[in-house]
Structure 1
Amino acid sequence: MTLLVDVRHRLGSFAVDVSFRSESGVTALFGRSGSGKTSVMRIIAGLDRPDDGRIELDGDVLVDTKKRILVPKHRRRFGYVFQEARLFPHLSVRQNLNYGRWFAPKAERRENFDRILDLLGIEHLLERRPAKLSGGEKQRVAIGRALLSSPRMLLMDEPLAALDDARKAELLPYLERLRDDADIPIIYVSHSVAEVARLASRIVLMNNGRVEAVGEAGQILGHPSIAVAVDRRETGALLEGRLHAYDSDQRLASIMLKSAQLVVPLAEELPTGRPVRLHIPARDVMLATARPEHISALNILPGTVVTLMSGTDGMCDVEVDCGGDTIQARLTEVSVRRLDILPGKHVFAVIKTVALRL
């Protein structure tokens, strides 16, 4: 499915003016708190009416202010998952899930109850009440309830924001399964680089109510414009490759990129050939003008400097092309001058293995 959004809306002194296209997979509305992500999500869901604009899903016009078209939210058939699970406390998990099925017309109920239980790993929770669930379990049930309404699209508004790190780690694998197995597009609101790097196919980068950039996840997370959404210390490169081999004794995986190969810690073996992603923070990359020897780092990639961008904090972001894979390094301006780092210079990117995570 293709979602087309072109809307303008004023909320007091804050104005939203966005235009973007979303297709299959996970499209992340990404930006700092207050950038307008949730406002756009509410307009798409039909919870708020835009002052001007048009929203279309696969040729089905949901909003057209010029033609006075406004499809009510209950007829849009979108599933919505909020920051808080919002389960009915007096109902069991089974009853909460079945509540979602009541919203799907019988002729259009395509989601199998048992399949959703398996997808989200919640079969053993069916007879519990929400008060007996962890935060991650509540969110999995909330996602199941939304899916059982057989939605045409799933809207997820920072579903991990209210969880601690342990619960986030628990829920993320289920969100990956949902992305890979569900046959509906997902709009995912987040201000977390880690979540977006792991889940998103496409990113709509937002800043002050406007779209700063739109593109593939790797393209946007590695672009200088990402600075409007994250602290510079969080920026880096998102690389895609395939699992080439696994050493079970050392618990290290070999990842084949476009032309380079990286060694990455991996606690459990995964099938070889499996596509994987790596987010490499720029702060964890060092540059050398000669291949270093007798160091602990296992990943040393030859490359060529492409661009340099100096900040106001005495730091410089250096973009290096390593055989078709772009890696970013954050250096002090002192180091840049001392090593005479300039576009076109041949360097070696040194990446600490412990800094990498699939």
Structure 2
Amino acid sequence: MAEGLQLVVRQSGPIPLDAHISCAPGEVLALVGPSGSGKSTLLRSIAGLYQPAEGHIGCDGEVWFDSQRRLAMPTRHRRVGMVFQHFALFPHLSAQGNIAEALLDYPPAQRNERASSWLQRVHLPGLGERLPHQLSGGQQQRVALARALAREPKVLLLDEPFSAVDRATREALYGELAELREELRMPVILVTHDLDEATLLADRICVVSAGRTLQVDSPDRLMQAPASAEIARLLGMRNLFSGTVAGHGGDHSLLHWAGHVLKARAQPDLPVGQPVSWAMPTSGVLLVPLNERPGTPLDNRVTVRIERLLSLGELYRLTLVTGDQRLTMNVPRHVAQRYGLAAGQVIEVRLRGETIHMMPAP
């Protein structure tokens, strides 16, 4: 069996599953998808809290579940660390006592010593005697993480672990998790609804929908080349359209869309005349420079009308109209002010063909 975690599970109901995931030691794999897509069910299957109808789950040479052999290792024997959205700390135990509860295999004296050591590692020295209600949300989450890791688990499972704390605390916890993963070298499975969080923390992202794993890839490759329009929608890509393949050149393809012929990165496997879905990140839509500097060979100039500007702190999100189609782009506030952008204004933008990805139409 390969190193790290391997999972293949299938069932028709009551919760449909058709999933295949792997996670190497030291890797963070993020499961993303809409609510009810089966992400948490997959986590619970790994932990032994849910038993699928068919499949196989193993980690580092141990078989945890095998439907053909009718084998299902109990949760307590799987050496899994779990961190939940709402911490799940014992309210009557101190921070150190909560961590010590994960160390029942050790003699009592060692439990307290190891629990104290873990409090140091998650930057909570001197807080061991505090009860959970005497700790901030971020401190409680650190205790929950220390408790999960104190068992020296073979795999760490994180179920929306940062959604209950504020943004500043969340960003501090991101850094601490990054430090710990470098040190511990275990597979980490992260369930999150926040694509930015997944992109920041994960080595690979697995898109899950209706219990199916649809695509697994690095964050960059996933956003650049979703395998289908469904996946592009699940990733929250705002610029998702229909068009037709118009032709292929040596280093590019041509795309008919909304009365325009756009140059796109080469995808010669798509036949000319084939209807396609195509996607482009908001970063692929740029203003034409005021000094008229030339762009790239795959730039597509399109005249648009600004329908709306939405202020998002240091950014404006612009909704642009061409024909009956709407594009989305983000512009830094200072750039929007320098250009004097306003609703109703007609401007020219560049659609970067390097970022245009075409997919067979559904």
TM superposition score normalised by structure 1 = 0.66
Give, as a single letter, the amino acid of the residue that structure 1 aligns with 2:90: F
Name 1:287's counterpart in structure 2: 286
Name 1:16's counterpart in structure 2: 17
Instruction: Give deviations 1:139-197, integer Å, cap 9, x for gaps.
Output: 11001011111111111111112223343234222222222222211111111012111
Is this contact kept in 1: 2:82–2:148, CA < 8 A? yes
Is this contact kept in 1: 2:119–2:128, CA < 8 A? no
DSSP 3-state at the match of 2:64:
strand
CA distance in 2, matches of 1:22, 1:207: 19
Shift of 1:317: 8.2
Name 1:73's counterpart in structure 2: 75
Give, as a single letter, the amino acid of the residue that structure 2 aligns with 1:194: D
Task: Return the match for 2:49 from 29, 33, 47.
Answer: 47
CA distance in 2, matches of 1:165, 1:227: 26
| 1:114-263 matched pairs, under 5 angstroms | 116-224=118-226, 225=228, 226-233=231-238
Cα distance, 1:189–1:130 mapped onto 2, change above 3 Å: same
Instruction: Give deviations 1:202-239, integer Å, cap 9, x for gaps.
Output: 1111112101101223222333354242433499xxxx
Is this contact kept in 2: 1:31–1:228, CA < 8 A? no
CA distance in 1, matches of 2:134, 2:189: 29
CA distance in 1, matches of 2:174, 2:352: 40
DSSP 3-state at the match of 1:125:
coil
Is this contact kept in 1: 2:156–2:187, CA < 8 A? yes
Instruction: Give deviations 1:224-260, integer Å, cap 9, x for gaps.
Output: 354242433499xxxxxxxxxxxxxxxxxxxxxxxxx
Name 2:6's counterpart in structure 1: 4
Q: Structure 2, unaligned stretches of length 5 or more? A: 241-279, 301-321, 330-345, 356-362
DSSP 3-state at the match of 2:156:
strand
Cα distance, 1:160–1:341 mapped onto 2, change above 3 Å: closer
CA RMSD of aligned residues (A): 3.8
Cα distance, 1:158–1:314 mapped onto 2, change above 3 Å: same
Cα distance, 1:340–1:124 mapped onto 2, change above 3 Å: closer
Name 1:100's counterpart in structure 2: 102
Cα distance, 1:152–1:341 mapped onto 2, change above 3 Å: closer
| 1:264-303 matched pairs, under 5 angstroms | 282-283=281-282, 286-287=285-286, 292-293=290-291, 303=296
DSSP 3-state at the match of 2:185:
coil
Give, as a single letter, the amino acid of the residue that structure 2 aligns with 1:171: L
Shift of 1:34: 1.3
**Structure whose alpha-carbon radius of gyration is higher:** 2
Name 2:29's counterpart in structure 1: 27
Shift of 1:40: 0.6
Shift of 1:316: 5.2
Is this contact kept in 1: 2:55–2:67, CA < 8 A? yes
Identity %: 34
Give, as a single letter, the amino acid of the residue that structure 2 aligns with 1:314: Q
Q: Structure 1, unaligned stretches of length 5 or more? A: 236-280, 295-299, 319-334, 346-358
Aligned length: 273
DSSP 3-state at the match of 1:231:
coil
Is this contact kept in 1: 2:4–2:186, CA < 8 A? no
TM superposition score normalised by structure 2 = 0.65
Pairing 1:314–2:313 present: no
Cα distance, 1:340–1:78 mapped onto 2, change above 3 Å: closer
CA distance in 2, matches of 1:20, 1:80: 18
Instruction: Give deviations 1:3-61, integer Å, cap 9, x for gaps.
Output: 1111013443x411101221122111111211110011111110011100111212221
Give, as a single letter, the amino acid of the residue that structure 1 aligns with 2:156: L
Is this contact kept in 2: 1:32–1:230, CA < 8 A? no
Name 1:59's counterpart in structure 2: 61
Cα distance, 1:302–1:199 mapped onto 2, change above 3 Å: farther
CA distance in 1, matches of 2:216, 2:354: 28
Is this contact kept in 1: 2:96–2:115, CA < 8 A? no
CA distance in 2, matches of 1:343, 1:41: 39
Is this contact kept in 1: 2:96–2:119, CA < 8 A? no
Shift of 1:87: 0.9
Structure 1 range deviating more: 212-221 or 193-202: 212-221
Instruction: Give deviations 1:72-101, integer Å, cap 9, x for gaps.
Output: 111111111111111111111111111111
DSSP 3-state at the match of 2:126:
helix
